[in-house]
Amino acid sequence: MEMTLEEICAAVDGRLLVPALPKRRVNRLSIDSRITLAADFFVPLAGTKTDGHEFIAQAAQNGAIGCFSSLGRTVSYPEGMTVIGVSSPLLALQQLAAVYRQKFVLPVVAVTGSVGKTTTKELIAATLSVSLKILKTEGNLNNHIGLPLMLSRLDFSHQAAVLEMGMSGFGEIDLLARLAQPSVAVITNIGESHLEMVGSREGIAKAKCELFPHVPLNGTVVANADERLLVPYLEKVGCQVLTFGFSAAATVRCVAADQENGKMTVQIKQDGYTPLTLPSPLPGRHNIYNLMAALAVGRLLGLTDEEFTVGLPRVLLGEMRLEKVQTPAGINVLNDAYNASPTSMAAAIDVLLEQAGDAAKIAVLGDMLELGWLEEEGHRKIGNLVAAHALDALIVLGRRSQIIADAAIAAGYPSVRVFRPESHSDAANLIVRLAGSGDWVLLKGSRGMRMEDVLVELLEGEK
């Protein structure tokens, strides 16, 4: 971090509770005393069960040279640690991140959307890194705490930053964008996640588009051309707008997508550029959107098509995002258990169909949470989809997923192919009974359902 203790205090209008070491530069910000390192600055945040103030001494023991502390708190501070009093350590963290961001003149790409934001962030970062040194969001550091921490990791060697922005309600994207000050804003799509908080897909669009006012006039908005709910917001944008999609009106448009042996090849056109034909590094039609968004950003920031193509194989999505695992018995598992909404679950089923070909296809589906009023309709939609695609078996876990099973049967899906286990272990045992070598199994459900545990049980059972 390119800041001294003295600068941190000034940035947050803090009060020195213990004398500072004015010229001592901070290594990085830390919110976890257990992994605090030498020369770190500790931010004691209050959680649901613990308060970070209780761990200031541990942070100092691990090498922290300074920390925030809430004014009015009675805390015994370790000798030699600089303590800066603030009204709220969380607000101070955010204020510090906003001030720190202003030190840097570089492209900042903000990526949000209901589905695909992490994939798009990874595609953009992987391709830009061919020619630029990139800072990108790590893990789930995409919220009101994580994004300030990511901003604090900027240094003067970085040539661009690619930051993911998540939300669960109104005002969150506005806050994150105010801190990050993006020059490029990307919206992948508008889905159904967090309907409990914002009420409707229209509400989600409104919340996501809080990003747009923070893009400067010389910046660029990159948005899904096929998402009608974005149209009224794009019409009000004052800066350049690039769109991507399958629509003929899209700036960056897919004009062909050929599937063969589980591999996708796409052709993309954009006025002023030679048509680009390339293999998609990720399965599924939905990932073509993410690919086009990344191409639009890459070209915008000066990346050549050759560099873009070289960077694609570098993309890493991490665990539980269409992760392919083959069990010792030869069963192919698509572990897409990171999270779920009707949109992402439908997309995952499409990938199952693409990858399996003529092999047996089994969907193991868990509850989709936080759907609000769409809960019953969203689960019923997936049941109808299962019936339409005539999957070889449907295994459902959870109370809400029973709606999927009932809807599939009502739509004509054979009830003998529907299984309703009571545990992850029971689901794994069913897979062993139903699937053989070469067959394909999809695991999909909301984070709270921990559908990856089915895979753990399956692998343990095959030992």
pLDDT at 420 over 80: yes
What global pTM score does this model have? 0.88
- Look at residue 281 and tell me if it is in a domain: yes
When comparing pLDDT for 284 and 121, which is higher? Answer: 121
Shared domain for 109 and 77, answered yes or no, is no
**Are 56 and 197 within one domain?**
no
The predicted model gives 244-271 an average pLDDT of 92
Same-domain status, 176 and 266 = yes
Residue 162 lies in a domain: yes
Q: What is the pLDDT of residue 284?
A: 87
The residue out of 297, 314, 331 marking a domain boundary is 314
Rounded CA separation 444/365 (Å): 5
Q: What's the confidence (pLDDT) of residue 297? A: 98
Q: What is the pLDDT of residue 249?
A: 94
According to the model, what pLDDT value does residue 259 have?
82
We report the CATH number of the domain holding residue 83 as 3.40.1390.10
> Is 35 contained in some domain?
yes
**pLDDT score recorded for residue 295:** 98
Q: Are residues 123 and 198 in the same domain?
A: yes
| Mean pLDDT, the chain, whole residue set | 94
Q: What is the pLDDT of residue 148?
A: 97
CATH code of residue 180: 3.40.1190.10
Domain assignment present for residue 181? The answer is: yes
Average pLDDT over residues 392-403: 97
95 is a domain residue: no
More confident residue, 173 or 21: 173
Domain membership of residue 83 (yes or no) is yes
Residues 248, 191 share a domain:
yes
290 and 240 fall within a common domain = yes
The total number of structural domains that make up the chain: 3
Looking at the fold, whether 300 and 329 belong to one and the same domain comes out as no
> Is 94 a domain residue?
no
Residue whose structure tokens are 């409104």: 206
**What's the pLDDT at 414?**
97
Which range of residues forms the domain containing residue 456?
A: 323-461
Domain boundary among 280, 314, 348: 314
**Residue 463 scores a pLDDT above 70:** no
In a domain, 393, yes or no: yes
Assess whether 147 and 225 both reside in one domain: yes
Same domain, 328 and 436: yes
The answer to whether residue 211 scores a pLDDT higher than 90 is yes
Of residues 195 and 284, more confidently modeled: 284
- Region 330-351: mean pLDDT is 94
Last residue of some domain: 34, 57, 87? 87
pLDDT of residue 462: 66
Same domain, 293 and 154: yes
21 and 170 together in one domain? no
The answer on 257 and 190 residing in a single domain is yes
